[in-house]
Structure 1
């Protein structure tokens, strides 16, 4: 992973931030979570997990583990006390003298957190904290917090890089799927409602508030955008399936509506098209098309004037970072547009090609 690109590790897919020239130090760390409780959440301010592994207790009943952003979460079957140890590698950025660590857990047993600084390939224990027992009146969350001093990490760590500090509030983005049509709408056909009818869709578990709507209808787009804005969402990342597809037409129709509402749109480039891998030439052609046709629109999502594009499943079909580095370089050469590409992965090797993960 190139160190100059490491700032992009800190970008959360649904939270894009502008940056300034001011730099902060990022420290390479390993966060180890040991627990016998049946569930736990560990949140560390300024931490970004890039990978994790279960080193003990992988066979615990109904074990589910996630490590993304600043949180490591472990769930097991209710009342299970099997020992589980999870190690999450990542980077820690301090914005003050200490980072707040919050541990929530079930009523049973304990959760212990250990932080190791990476020093010349070795791990040095710099901090530990244990949450055990219950917190009365917490509704079963049992939260306990502690401060991880910056000085303890700085004293031990030689593995630092520079990351850019945010200069603007985060933008909250939501994935959006404009792939629905019905015969009475502008598209004139059923699409993606999976063969339902007006009568049978009423049995659906989650019946749409607007009924079986048509994504080409600007009234639908406006309604969804207004609902999103009311929920504090700044923009949609729209599923996009190729030139001239149903979703391409829907996206084109949505842009003017979004502009009138002060709302952002971009595409979620669907790079998986069934069993056959799309050739690199198709990827270049389609991404170039998007940038040429849409990126100059006032509603298209931009950071510091650069259009932002999200790419789905970059590791599918065994595609390596080199595949994407070559394709995206050709897109830039073809269009002359310097875009920001965000990859759907936590694998930091892909920062060789992408601007964020």
Structure 2
């Protein structure tokens, strides 16, 4: 019996396409993620001002923040505030949040529960940013808690079909690479091959040293690079992002971080000359967006939605209005298309 030539051709064609299909399925989904802080409290809602130092609603000033939020200080546990923020983030074309998390008994843990539901209602993704580090055992315990408590939520961010948990640079400062390796062994014993780990690496040297220990890396403290004066800023931006993304080659996800502005000089515990990045007319932020997009990372990360102490927020302020949210809306559409 002669084989059906048409059937044979279709089988061969399908076989040839299999590697391409597998490759496309393994590529990370593009994301625009914003660092988000849920540590704020007000007397009206929580009985005390938390992370708002001596707020003056008449003069519209906060003693430890250079800018003032539209509508004044708010409480991060207030469902109406969370709903408003999720709506703003969604409207800006951002796809998800990296939520600052300070431990199982901290107020940010309660806030994370509420954000997950509100973000999910908007179609946004969420992951936790582990910031409190005591020991390798503590990191393992907190990671397993997050995994077991939240990772099955439909809004939790995933990479290669595994929930993502992210770590601030304090992890490496406090316990080092050896401490992280120990923590990961403890995690994997209870949750083998179940989590995607993404951590901080602020320099090319740090990427090289940490890449094998994590599924992905990201910059957070970009202000030191960004505050330097450049002879040819456009050439610096191009090289900066190209080198950064290239250095991550081989990681399961590549990232590029952008920063709208920075000024932490009102933080009295930070000594010496501090880096300041002025927003000017908003063009520097747009320039960083364009350079980051051109470098073709998988994820673009924005520092931050509402870190008011460091004046890196894109949340509406009396100084800048919603300008940065509008920039994100335009640029996110360009990146994600």
SS in 1 for 2:43: coil
1:332 Cα deviation after fit: 2.6
Mapped pair 1:246 → 2:107 = yes
Partner of residue 210, structure 1: 71
Query: Number of aligned pairs?
Result: 191
> What are the equivalent positions in structure 2 for 1:46-195 lying under 5 Å apart?
166=27, 168=29, 170-185=30-45, 187-195=46-54
Moved over 4 A (4+): none
Distance 1:244 1:337, change over 3 A: farther
Please state which structure has a larger fraction of its residues in strand: 1
Identify unmatched segments of 5+ residues in structure 2.
Answer: 1-19, 218-337
Partner of residue 160, structure 2: 304
- TM-score, length of structure 1 as denominator length: 0.49
Please state which structure has a larger fraction of its residues in helix: 2
Larger radius of gyration: 1
Quick one: distance in 2 between partners of 1:335 and 1:238? 22
Deviation string, structure 1 residues 48-84 (Cα, Å, up to 9, x no partner): xxxxxxxxxxxxxxxxxxxxxxxxxxxxxxxxxxxxx
Partner of residue 22, structure 1: 23
Quick one: distance in 2 between partners of 1:241 and 1:270? 6
Let me know the Cα RMSD of the aligned residues. Answer: 2.5
SS in 1 for 2:216: coil
Quick one: distance in 1 between partners of 2:27 and 2:146? 28
Quick one: distance in 2 between partners of 1:308 and 1:326? 19
Identify unmatched segments of 5+ residues in structure 1.
Answer: 1-18, 24-163, 273-277
Partner of residue 258, structure 1: 119
1:172 Cα deviation after fit: 0.4
Contact preservation (8 Å) 1:271, 1:311: no
Distance 1:183 1:336, change over 3 A: farther
Distance 1:181 1:356, change over 3 A: same
Quick one: distance in 2 between partners of 1:246 and 1:167? 32
Quick one: distance in 2 between partners of 1:268 and 1:349? 21
Contact preservation (8 Å) 2:96, 2:126: yes
- TM-score, length of structure 2 as denominator length: 0.52
Quick one: distance in 2 between partners of 1:196 and 1:202? 6
More moved, 189-198 vs 295-304: 189-198
Distance 1:239 1:352, change over 3 A: same
Distance 1:344 1:271, change over 3 A: farther
Mapped pair 1:222 → 2:83 = yes
Partner of residue 304, structure 2: none
Quick one: distance in 2 between partners of 1:196 and 1:271? 26
Contact preservation (8 Å) 2:99, 2:128: yes
